[in-house]
A and B are shown apart, each in its own frame.
Chain A
Amino acid sequence: MASFNTVLHRTQDEATQNLLGTVDTPLPPPQPPPSGPSQLGPSVSNGAPIPPALEVTAPIGSAQAASRLMGTETEDTKRSRADDAQREKTEMQATCFRMVLNGEIESAEMGSGGHGPLMCIFSMQHGPDWTVVSGASDGITQLACASVPTSSFVTSWRGGLAEFVWSFPLGVVYKSTSPFGWPRIVVTVYGTDLCNRRVVKGYGSVHVPCQPGRHTRTIRLYCPLSSSPLTRLLGALFGNPAQLVDPRILAGTDGREVIRVQSGGKVRVHFDVMLKDTSSFNYAF
């Protein structure tokens, strides 16, 4: 068993070396001497910009991380593990900020247009500077019915407002270097028509609030209209009304002027926003 482990370690070691392209030369020793953490301590605590020497050592740090990932634990890597963690933290602080978004897609109100269960498909869109660090940026909720039957006399007397509660959780972590292209949530609400076919009931989008804290936003929905009354009628007959091929265009401004929409319906969304490392960028939110 022990011999097998040694062999395994050696093959993994070779794989790591091949991966890193450093077969001939052994792994370089960790650049900061073991007294590194004591030097790094104050700069991490007071958020000062990292010295340039640490940025130079970044590839070596990643090499060590890779070798640690592959399971080759040497004395050097052991010694510099704490050092690595400190350095990664410092680099993260200096190069990008994070936005942690939690929340929920709470409910929808469809007015008179809502019959039967509703479903929401959402997708978070962001600009080129932004990266999803963790979490799912899109999803599909359940099919929700209102507590009052929507076609009854009671709801029509109440103005046809029935609430469809999804309470679907959101949880995404982003990182970015600039607020330009701040994430937006694009929702598509699907319902059923009179013949129980699934049709689009509305689209909408809103940007994630830029301030930390809890925010509630109401997304007003709209449905695209066909260009002629004939196609409108045919779409209603065959359960195939006009819909957007790619709803993600709603997060941008391109091509919006050629769309005709019919307003109607609302979706209520709660956002819990946390911001991290924005002070080194001097951003005021």
Chain B
Amino acid sequence: MTALPAPSAPAPPAPVPAPKPRAPPCAPGDEFELHFIGELECGWDFPGLEVDDGLFVDYSCEAGMDWLPIARKEGFVGQTQTCYADAHGVYVFNHPIDFHYIADSVASWPQLHLQVFKLDAAGRVETLAYGSMTLPNACGHREVTVRTWRPLQRNVLEEARTVSSTSGADGALPASRAEVLHGEVRSKMVTKTSGSILVALDTIFRNAGKHQILTG
């Protein structure tokens, strides 16, 4: 019988030194890469809008510390064009999305945070709605409808003032947008349903099999 050298070679060294924060855990070319390609397509059903109210969306893609955005050091953030509704009440944003990440960990999957603003005829900008979605975690084409909401004010008087929009105050959030949309400080809020936003995404994985990641 020949000796089997295989089991001894990949025996995991038990005292693993703590890795440096940005040290790649795998060989170059073997990283788990993700591409999210698509559009922030359109929005509809936003209540209380006049004909000459335009909408635009401010978005940011929030991922964990182990997610490295490629080609955009500041992360994937941006703002769409301001659009006015067509005959069916659809606001076409048609904003291109091309996110490229290298992930050292699949924990804290990236989330797309959306904030819808209204630009009225007098040039005032107000927040209309918030929404968030988790980016797809399986490759393929996906069309996601993001339902959005807006925070209600504390009492009826403030609420009436916000609806009549004379004050121009945006919906006051108890914390920053990222914290609220991540879902930890939301238990103190009262919100109201707002419109929907359609996001069409194609997801591409690289080296998912090498890292033994099973997706749907």
Contact = CB atoms under 8 A, between A and B. Distances in A.
A260 B84 contact: yes
Given A179-B35, A210-B37, A256-B95, A284 B86 contact: no
Contacts of A260: 54, 81-84
Contacts of A115: none
B82 to A, nearest CB: 5
A25 to B, nearest CB: 37
Interface residues of B, number: 40
A171 B10 CA distance: 49
Contacts of B91: 263
B178 interface: no
- Size bin of chain A's contact surface: 35 or more
Interface of B: 35, 37-39, 41-42, 54, 56, 70-71, 78-87, 90-92, 94-96, 98, 100, 139-141, 202, 204-210, 215
Nearest to B78: A253
B120 to A, nearest CB: 13
Given A220-B94, A264-B86, A182 B206 contact: no
Contact of A220 (B41, B84, B215): B41
A21 to B, nearest CB: 34
Contacts of B100: 178-180
A238 interface: no
B82 A261 contact: yes
A221 B92 contact: yes
A283 B204 contact: yes
Given A259-B82, A261-B92, A209 B202 contact: yes
A211 B202 contact: yes
Contact of B206 (A181, A222, A259, A281): A281
B71 A180 contact: yes
Interface string A246-285: 0000111100110111111100000000000000011111
Interface in A204-256: 204-207, 209-211, 215, 219-222, 225, 250-253, 256
Contacts of A252: 96
A256 B79 contact: yes
B83 A263 contact: yes
Contacts of A184: 96
Given A209-B202, A264-B86, A284-B204, A257 B96 contact: no
B76 to A, nearest CB: 9
A180 B70 contact: yes
Contacts of B83: 222, 260-263
A164 B200 CA distance: 25
Contacts of A264: 86-87
A167 interface: no
A117 interface: no
Contacts of B87: 111-112, 160, 264
Contacts of B86: 111, 262-265
Contacts of B94: 204-205, 219-220, 222, 250
Contacts of A111: 86-87
A210 B80 contact: no
Contact of A180 (B41, B98, B141): B98
B90 A179 contact: no
Contacts of A179: 35, 37, 100, 204
A181 to B, nearest CB: 7
8 contacts: A111-B87, A178-B100, A184-B96, A207-B96, A207-B202, A210-B35, A250-B96, A257-B78
B202 A284 contact: no
